[in-house]
Amino acid sequence: MTRHGRFRRPFGLLPALPATVVLPLTLLAALRPIPSALADDAPTSVPGQTHAAGDINIRDAWMQIIRPERRIAGAYFTIENRGTDTHMLTGVTATACQNLFAHHTEQESTPETAELFTRLALPAQTILVFPPGGYHLICQGYDGTVQPGRSIPVTFHFLGGTTRTVAFEIRPTPDTADIAP
């Protein structure tokens, strides 16, 4: 930008627009319709996504009761995309959990971190690990099926409508008697 409020453009010098013109133009641009790919009625047949369930492998899946008095458990797993296409994880659900959301042990929980697993890209030929102490799932308000020695089904949902259900083994609450306050 020059001193005189003009911008150098490929088409020559254009006068700078006053803020009273720019703001309404910005608001009008924001009012355009939602593209059909983002609409609720978007097709479930997305190119390259129909085989997500076959490309995705979820292993080392386990859940540990962390705060039994508050009915909170942490869920840990490894997810691998063995395919040649990037797949988009669009959600994770478990009927045994009232709420199932992402969390990071060392980070502040925000709506953005809680929604991590609602739009997570899994690049081709990639392995992602969600361990204790890092990003993982929190099962809040779990029901009576979440008991040590048992397992619960957790379903991973992918763009295009495919799913993958995995049994998460339930482990007991860690022994915290030797941990200083």
The domain spans of the chain are 52-171
**Per-residue pLDDT band at 11 (split at 50, 70, 90):** very low
Query: How many angstroms separate the CA atoms of 49 and 120, rounded?
Result: 14
Helices of type H across the chain: 19-30, 52-55, 111-114
Q: Report whether pLDDT(177) > 70.
A: no
* Chain Cα centroid distance, residue 123: 14
Q: Tell me which residue of 167, 120, 113, 166 sits closest to 135, measured CA to CA.
A: 113
Q: Report whether pLDDT(85) > 60.
A: yes
- Position 20 scores a pLDDT of 37
Q: What is the percent of the chain where pLDDT is above 90?
A: 46
8 A C-beta contact, residue 134 and residue 105: yes
What does pTM read for this prediction? Answer: 0.68
8 A C-beta contact, residue 74 and residue 138: yes
Q: Report whether pLDDT(172) > 70.
A: yes
Mean pLDDT within 14-26: 37
Computed from CA positions of residues 11, 13, 14, 16, in that sequence, does the dihedral angle turn out positive or negative?
Answer: positive
Q: Report whether pLDDT(138) > 80.
A: yes
52-171: CATH homologous superfamily? PCu(A)C copper chaperone (2.60.40.1890)
SS3 120: strand
